Amino acid sequence: MKRIIFSIALMGFSCAYASGPYDGIWETSPYGYAIISERDGILIAVNIYHEAYGGDWEAFQGERIGNSTRASALVAKGNLILDLTMTSDTTFTLTQVDCIPKDVNDTYCVVPNGTILMLGNKVW
């Protein structure tokens, strides 16, 4: 099922109308990969995690202003708000702004707000 969703997401993000300067596939080592696509100033990011990190996926959306995007979770284990900052054309940092788990017994939101969650490097 995860491979089907990944394939659909990849096909959708490779359409000609995607035109953002940061569109592409990003490595988020050691966690997995992110697919980023932008249209009309709205950025969509899909994180796909390696099996060692649960094998799950998450989707986020936000408006890009300059090199920054404040993104809210579309699909995730919690109500998560992130700041995605492109530090160059090929690197980014992802910082947690706010997180409320959907399940109070879940450890999804254990890091404090303001924590850099991951760094990304553009692959393609």
Determine the residue type at 69.
T
pTM: 0.80
Question: What number of other Cβ atoms are within 10 A of residue 21's Cβ?
Answer: 10
Question: What number of other Cβ atoms are within 10 A of residue 43's Cβ?
Answer: 22
Residues 51-64: tens digit of each pLDDT: 998 899 999 999 99
Residues 84-117: tens digit of each pLDDT: 999 999 999 999 999 998 887 778 888 999 999 9
Higher pLDDT, 1 or 23: 23
Percentage of the chain lying above the pLDDT 90 cut: 71
